[in-house]
Structure 1
Amino acid sequence: MNTINITCPMAFNTTKYFTIPMYSLALAAGLPLNCLALLALVSHIQKSIVLSVYVLNVVLANILQSLMLPFWINYSYHNHHWNLGEGACMVFGVIFFTNFYAKNNFLCLIAMERYIGLIYPLKFYRLQTMHGATKVSIGAWLLVAILCVAGVWIQMHGSETWQGRCLDGSQSGKDYAYFKMATMSFSFFMPCFLMGFFYFRVLFALRKKTSLQQRLKRKIYGFISLIIASFFLLCTPYQVISCYKYYCTLMLENNEFCDIERNSFIYIHVTWCLAILTTILDPLLYILLLKDVQANLKDHLSFRARRTQITQDLPLHSTTGWIQKVPVSQ
């Protein structure tokens, strides 16, 4: 194996000053928001609403990812020294990264479902069923889980001895760099491209729909733009810097490995913190802004205030809004 048995001197004690606050914020805000969203989505599942299957998987991935954050807070607090053992590192690492990358796939599937439902409602009708969405979801989980198990195993065995570093990349070696370069397109860049394609096709189709009110079009354009911008701004920097780091690891000699690590160390962790913030924004963008889910949350929380007409103007992913009323043809 192409292992790199080098202990690179790096300022491990510096990351705690921004990772711990960011992780704590994601845990304190993201976990309750996603739990509320999960509570509201139960009724959608009972109504056999296809879109809710994919959204439910996003929420579950966010909840499981948030539950792993205390362990990474502890890891940062102890200056990147994992004191729970090698086995726990592997288990928690697989759970954390599986949910992180599975979420990207389900966000892509949400965009695909809107695209198919609007433009090809009859051609792909089998995917528009609860059974079809469930099978696609199971397949997505299995694919990501297999890749994450393989990646964690390769990374953990990139060094001959356990040195207390848990999946921070400092001892991964060239084998893991080869693996990441080979799988990064499937784990992020392809879902990223497809998500952008699906949403831009929806926008293009709506643009040709002259019967749709301009005010409602602007609302939909703004909502989709917000989804795309938040995803690209928060998730893409970490993936781009990681890709650059692994590329350099493969191209440069082993004696230059520490230079790569030191140059990318802070950037990797800063951009990783940005990606973690999606646990807060996902329920806000995909759940709490939906008309039907807002109504369910109000019922669960015993709010009796009259629903305003404004929420009816933001039903991009609602199953009872403009999607059913305004069919779009090619």
Structure 2
Amino acid sequence: MAKSVSITARTARHHQSVSWRDYYEMTKPNVVMLLLLTALVGMCLATPTWVSAVTLICGLAGIGMLSASAAVINHVVDHRIDSMMARTFNRPVAKGKVSVTSALWFAAALGVIGFVVLAAFVNMLTAWLTLASLVGYAFIYTMYLKRATPQNIVIGGIAGAAPPLLGWTAVTGEIHAHALLLVLIIFTWTPPHFWALAIHREKDYAKAKVPMLPVTHGVSFTKTSVLLYTVLLGIVCFMPYLTGMSDLIYLIGSSVLNAGFLYYAVKLKYAADEQTAMKTFRFSIIHLMVLFVVLLLDHYIPISL
């Protein structure tokens, strides 16, 4: 009885100490900002002129809110797993600072407002596609795929790869092959990006009984998979130039970035130390961020051979 009272009191203290920072943390702001960068590039590449202010502001706001909603749902669904892992045990829901009910209401509010903004000020295609991405990440990936197969991040990666397409449809109201090529780049980038982190946190995933690739197939196999996907990523990243979607600035920039990613992937496979996997993970974030900035520069400063 005393133990029960103690747990209740501790939970009450956690809830009383909740702040806006806890809600902000649940939205995974760093991840959402990277997604919005790719959505912005999708918008800009969709038109030879400038994107209208209404489309730009409302499009990014709506996509951002629905992405944040998906992140909050991920915190709720994974709070038991998060509480068992060193990287995530201090997350607001896992720690008990924000209740599951409060987090779900917050996610619902973000999702509804984001959808309404896109539907009212952008277009219905973008609204529905963004909602589909939320369902894909928050429910299909987080609730099912993550716990069902070591290929979870490969299959579920399509949801996280959607923002450039969402940005494109926000401007044009239609799906274009060039937008799908941007999606393919992120889709191919996701496995080596996430598996590098999974290698670094392999023991955590094993403890939480999450069937990530290093847990089910071993670290050596996962390192090989990272290397092969990195090679594939280099080929896919060459396609915007081959299709005439981009010019010389992108060709040079993407080649340098892909060479850097390949260096880390080779080192991870053949000469890794304790920090190589995490360094590879961190470089992959820089790779994607700079790659899309280079796409943007190339679009506004076209230089041909």
Give the TM-score normalised by the residue count of structure 1: 0.33
- Greater RCO between the two (CA within 8 Å, min separation 6)? 1
